[in-house]
Amino acid sequence: MTPPPPPTFKVALVEQLFQSAWAANVTAAAETIGSDSSDEEEMFDSAPLITAAAAASRVRKIHADALKLSTEMLRLFVVEAVRRAQMEAMVDDSEHVEPLHVEQNNCIQRDSRGVVRKSGVESQDDYHGLQNDPDQSP
């Protein structure tokens, strides 16, 4: 008996995610362009935004191979995020993976005010050093 294929995302779902993200980017670019700034600033600063908004609005289809690859990359990303959350749960001696464990494995997080801050571990070397440090007992 052959094992079932690994769970994955539907290609149509990923395509809808891309389309909605592109629509949101077009809206955000239009709002940024429409913000109140001087004529001189607008002439120099908004040219790349206008080009990006125009390019994003022209995208309507995604090549099937790119969509399949994106679906697989999303699956791998989720698998890795779950694996890291499991590791965080093990470090906390927890039997269950909780949302906190998913958030803890991000190196950059936003606080309650939306300000970006770095979490405790600054690099992989620091993380491995904490794992191997006998003084750091769980």
Domain total of the chain: 2
More confident residue, 101 or 124: 101
Average pLDDT over residues 24-36: 70
Instruction: Assess whether 67 and 128 both reside in one domain.
Output: yes
Q: What is the DSSP string of 53-87?
A: HHHHHH-----HHHHHHHHHHHHHHHHHHHHHHHH
Q: For residue 6, is it within any domain?
A: no
| 116: its two tokens | 């970006």
Q: Residue 3 domain-assigned?
A: no
Q: Which domain holds residue 30?
A: 11-62
**Both tokens assigned to 67:** 């969509």
Q: pLDDT band for 69, please (50, 70, 90 cuts).
A: very high
Please tell me whether residues 108 and 127 are part of one structural domain.
yes
Do 111 and 127 fall into the same domain? yes
Residue with tokens 């679906």: 71
**Residues 67, 51 share a domain:** no
- Summarize pLDDT for 86-117 with one digit per residue, the tens: 998 998 899 998 888 888 776 545 556 655 55
Is residue 2 situated within a structural domain? no
Query: In the structure encoding, which two tokens stand for residue 107, read together?
Result: 């190196």
Q: Does residue 110 sit in the same domain as residue 120?
A: yes
